[in-house]
A and B are shown apart, each in its own frame.
Chain A
Amino acid sequence: MTPKKMLLVPLDPVHDVGLKLIARALHNAGHETTILPPDLSLEEIISKAKATSPDYIMVSRTISYGTAEVLARFVDLCDASGIREHAKLVVGGLSMRPEMAQEYGFDAGFGPNTTPEEVVAWVDGKRIETASARHSLTKPDITQGYSYAFRDTVAGELCYDIAQTILEWAGNKTTAGIERAKVRADLEEARAQGDESSAKELLAKYAGLTSGDVRKWYDLGIPVPHTRALTASEISLIESLSLESPLPPGQKPLEGRTVMVQYGTGCPVMDAQHIALSLAWGARGVVHFDPSWGARTEGLLEGAWSHQHDGTVLTLENLKLIKRAIHPGALWQVRAHRGLNTPETVVLAHLAGADLTKVNIVYGSLGAGSDPARLTVDGVEAMRLAARYGMPFDVVTNEELCGVPARKAFAGMLIVATVGLMLGGRPVLQPLFANSPEAMVRGLSEDNFVDFNYAKMAVLREIIDAPIWPGAPVGFMTQTPDRCQSATMTALHAALALNLGASAVTIASSDEAYAGGPISAHARVDTLKSTAAALRFFGSSGIGATPRGDVYASELREGIMETLRRVRERRDFVAALYEGLLGDKDDGAYPGRAGKDTVREIR
């Protein structure tokens, strides 16, 4: 690289900060820089340029009035004075758009949000790192580097003891959900092999294991209410989506952090659009949200479906379509955690190419309506499948939103995670980062939203060396329909979690607290932008708790240990769920009834 002489010129009365940053970057790159003071006349600038004979004259213009006239006259003077014969003219600044540069006769133009590094790269003739190049994602592994060793050996002993009783209890039991998962895997294998005869038999067998509206569709072809088949043109629209959605100019991908967003508008076409723009604005992954009825009906549909209400129908065809909209470097989670189709969902997630799934027996049993015995059997199988497929899964604790205190929710999460470990899986702990009912009732968030969330992270760290992925999403009960407030709360919760060392975080849109309609595309961008701004603001400075954070952590740890002891003493995990040891009616937790009395012993 040959050092160049650079003359930097602020064409403004006062503004020259951006130019100073660029001058410093050029100087550091080995170029000779001269920066003129602001508020010189054009004639004075030409005089200085003639005296220094630069290779480049870089003009900045921040204020917008009279820009066209000033720049055109400057170029005319450069031409008339002969400067143009040996110097390239470059213009940039807040009032500038790159396409305007050519119009005014400059050799190059840089718009707002251009980085000094981009200017240096252009001068040095290197490829300018564009926003879309910055967005080339590599898929993170959020479980990498964790030993899963219990730092608290007493807690570890309790968890392994309880997990052992769960595996022994579930070992000789099965359900229609487990059978369907096996049939589905065999069915898709038969289809892949072109074995139509076997596929037909397996499909009939599968249909016989379904119930309700799903059974009506298989037997009679009646669509599930509020669904319609996607049209061929809608399918082709998804298939034509570019996976290389560029970032908007100047947008950084959330400082390289793993920020996940949920999608599930109901329609794969709309989902594909929301996914593409979420990734474009810096999300590192997306989470599939399915309709709530999908958890309470035996069996899943087949085909590509659109749904008029929240949640996108879980079928292999829908998942495969949506997969096309997901950048190969982005993470994709398909949730399997809460209902009667838990094992089959893991099978579908695997077949569709998902990276992660979600399983929690306790949340699904106490906060999402599934029978505890049924979900224990299905949950164990789901984790076994996830382990077989090498698919990490988070263990979510959203039963806290029902009112279950964190000490019980965390004990349940640790037990289920330990079952997952014993099955060879890679669980990810998912504490709720929110203003939970417990926090409100006990006044734990009276002063701030930091202390109790800090305590949750600190306690989990003290107990086990495992990845932590707060969610889901963060900020529950703190957001309002006001988009500024909502986006700010989301961003601060996300920044707190990531600053406390979370491996990932799931954020909501700024529509989180708006119940009047589907989440809008621009509301997704709101929180991605605000989270990026919060991460930029805090950087690596750290966010500290008050001394109360450690007090809360100490109480929480004692409560977790006490809960684990009580569950172990019961020697029957399912009974412990029914009897409320991990959340009772006073806490707002009720054992679910979907799938009650459907567990069968294997003879």
Chain B
Amino acid sequence: MSVKDRIIDACDIETFLVCDGVEEGKKLGLRLMAELGFSDADVVFCEEGGSGVRIRLRAYVHRPASVYRWHSRGGEPS
């Protein structure tokens, strides 16, 4: 079981990306989530300031009514 499987529903990443504006920031943010292996990702908010954007990214690992992999974690090392 991957640690991702232990994420109850969503994983948020909030950071500051150095870039030229919101549009580039959003693209970079989604690329970051893809690089981290998240497939169901979205930009929760993105605001420009200083040398880039303050951005919060979200990846849903378990949406309601999906199969919850944390459900069957018995016996594995924590």
Binding site for B on A (CB under 8 A): 226-228, 233-234, 237, 265-267, 269-270, 273, 306-308, 480-483, 511, 514, 516-518, 520-522
Contact = CB atoms under 8 A, between A and B. Distances in A.
Contacts of B47: 482
Nearest to A522: B12
Contact of A517 (B63, B65, B68, B71): B63
A132 B25 CA distance: 43
Contacts of A269: 68, 71
Contacts, number: 67
A416 to B, nearest CB: 32
Given A234-B71, A265-B64, A270 B9 contact: yes
A516 B64 contact: no
A307 B42 contact: no
Among A237, A266, A518, max chain B CB count under 10 A is at A518
Among A233, A270, A308, A514, max chain B CB count under 10 A is at A270
A307 B64 contact: yes
A517 B45 contact: no
A533 B20 CA distance: 36
B64 A266 contact: yes
Interface string B13-31: 0100000000000000000
Interface in B28-78: 42, 44-45, 47, 56, 58, 60, 62-65, 68, 71-72
A522 B10 CA distance: 8
Given A308-B63, A481-B56, 10 more contacts: A237-B71, A266-B64, A267-B65, A307-B65, A481-B45, A483-B14, A516-B42, A516-B58, A520-B58, A521-B10
Q: Which 9 A-B pairs have the closest CB atoms?
A: A267-B64, A266-B64, A306-B65, A481-B45, A520-B10, A265-B64, A516-B42, A308-B65, A270-B64
Contact of A518 (B14, B64, B71): B64
A178 B48 CA distance: 55
24 contacts: A228-B65, A233-B71, A234-B68, A234-B71, A265-B9, A266-B64, A270-B8, A270-B65, A270-B68, A273-B8, A306-B65, A307-B64, A308-B63, A482-B56, A483-B44, A514-B45, A516-B42, A516-B44, A517-B42, A518-B64, A520-B9, A520-B12, A521-B9, A522-B10
